[in-house]
Amino acid sequence: MRILFVITRADTVGGAQVHVKDLAAALMQMHHEVLVVTGTAGHYNQVLDTLNVKNIALSNFVRSIAPVQDLRISVKLKEIIQTYRPDLVSTHSSKAGLLGRIACRLERIPCLFTAHGWAFTPGVPVGKRYFYQSLESLASPLSEHIICVSEYDRYLGVQAGINPDRLITVHNGMPDIQPKYWADPVGKGVVNLTMIARFDQQKDHTTLLQAIQPIKNLHINLVGDGPNLDNAKALVEQLDIEDKVSFLGFRSDIPEVLAQSQIFALISRWEGFPRTIIEAMRAGLCVVASQVGGVAEAVSDGETGFCVARQDVAMLRERLAQLVAEPELRLRLGLAGRQRYEANFTFQRMYDQTYQVYERVLACEGKL
């Protein structure tokens, strides 16, 4: 099979980018041919190069809406499809999903869209939410199926007026790690909490930093970069917790970072189905996360970690203080999280289910 992936951003390596990277590498191992088209060239293209995944970066292919520029990108995608002649096009992220589906319809090529968390999910600013809900409702007939990464997102899609028969849930999955990267939730001395998240509007570092201020014997490692990084640093100084917080920047050695942690946190305003939570469970860490999007489908509250209400500083502080004080609880929740990963969130399970969707799309188009 010849598969073309289209994804907008290449300046970061977030959940959608990891999803495409892992699928592309696995498909190549199974002797399928793969090409990835991204937006303006960035670090992600280098990551694909190291895996020998063929990729093309399109300048001016960005997240923001620019009608004339977007029309040119659609034409360019159409030209790439004409040249590459894929059996299937798999689009990812809102902009790539829309422009890629339009190009596929013009070329009559089977197309699939994966929604890595809808842009109209609760928590997104209201004006943006209604705009993208209308856009996705109009665009949904352009592909035979849409993969949702959580049941919550599938529900939102149905509520937005998308045909339920088009929506298929495939939870994210991650390749396993070597046992040497399993964490020790008990640890010794100061408890290390890690959060891996881009510093932008979606992630809520503010609530986390406010919550940890009075908790003793706790150190926070913040992994990531982004436009709100300086704001977070200023808040750390304002709260007088410089000695409790380390900003680690962008890291490509996430398994190593998690192996040195005792707690993982993901505090957000909205989510789809976060891969970082799966990475933490894979490492055997207990997880504390905002109960947004599909988070509760990964974190079993009280069994593998805790779900806390969005922007609830007091509740988050209470859960973190409990975990810092009870190493045996951290160990129990972490072990249960590792078992939940093995049962539900392996890469092989995700790959098999995704490939079945590919076959369904091709069957619907009479290509199988």
pTM of the model: 0.89
Percent of the chain at pLDDT > 90 equals 82
pLDDT band at 10 (very low <50, low <70, confident <90, very high): very high
- Residue 56, pLDDT > 90, answer yes
- What count of other Cβ atoms lies within 10 Å of the Cβ of residue 146? 25
Q: Which of 76-90, 116-130, 227-241 has the lowest mean pLDDT?
A: 116-130
Dist CA 360 CA 68 (whole Å)? 34
The answer to whether the CB of 239 falls within 8 A of the CB of 211 is: no
Dist CA 114 CA 154 (whole Å)? 11
Secondary structure E strands in the chain: 2-7, 33-38, 55-57, 88-92, 111-115, 145-148, 167-169, 191-196, 218-223, 245-249, 263-266, 286-290, 305-308
Is it true that 2-173+346-364 and 179-344 share their CATH fold? yes
Query: Which residue did the predictor score with more confidence, 366 or 121?
Result: 121
- Residue 368, pLDDT > 70, answer no
Q: What is the mean pLDDT of the chain?
A: 93
Dist CA 118 CA 134 (whole Å)? 12
* pLDDT at residue 147 in the model: 96
Hey, what CATH topology would domain 179-344 get? Rossmann fold (3.40.50)
* pLDDT at residue 367 in the model: 61
pLDDT in tens, 275-297: 999 999 999 999 999 999 999 99
pLDDT in tens, 239-272: 999 999 999 998 989 999 999 999 999 999 999 8
* pLDDT at residue 209 in the model: 98
- Residue 221, pLDDT > 60, answer yes
Q: Identify any residues that bridge with 34 across adjacent strands, giving them in sequence order.
A: 3
Q: Which of 70-74, 174-178, 254-258, 357-361 has the lowest mean pLDDT?
A: 70-74
Dist CA 265 CA 248 (whole Å)? 15
Q: Which of 65-69, 80-84, 317-321 has the lowest mean pLDDT?
A: 65-69
Query: Which residue did the predictor score with more confidence, 99 or 367?
Result: 99
Which tokens hold the place of 276? 């970082």
* pLDDT at residue 139 in the model: 85
Q: Is 57 helix (H, G, I), strand (E, B) or coil?
A: strand
* pLDDT at residue 71 in the model: 85
- Residue 343, pLDDT > 90, answer yes
* pLDDT at residue 68 in the model: 76
The pairing of beta strand 218-223 with beta strand 111-115: unpaired
The residues spanned by each domain of the chain are 2-173+346-364, 179-344
* Domain range 2-173+346-364, CATH class: alpha beta
* pLDDT at residue 37 in the model: 96
Dist CA 273 CA 118 (whole Å)? 10
* pLDDT at residue 94 in the model: 84
- Residue 366, pLDDT > 80, answer no
* pLDDT at residue 365 in the model: 65
Closest to 266 (Cα-Cα) out of 243, 296, 237, 238: 296
Closest to 353 (Cα-Cα) out of 127, 169, 176, 203: 169
pLDDT in tens, 104-118: 999 999 999 999 988
- What count of other Cβ atoms lies within 10 Å of the Cβ of residue 224? 23
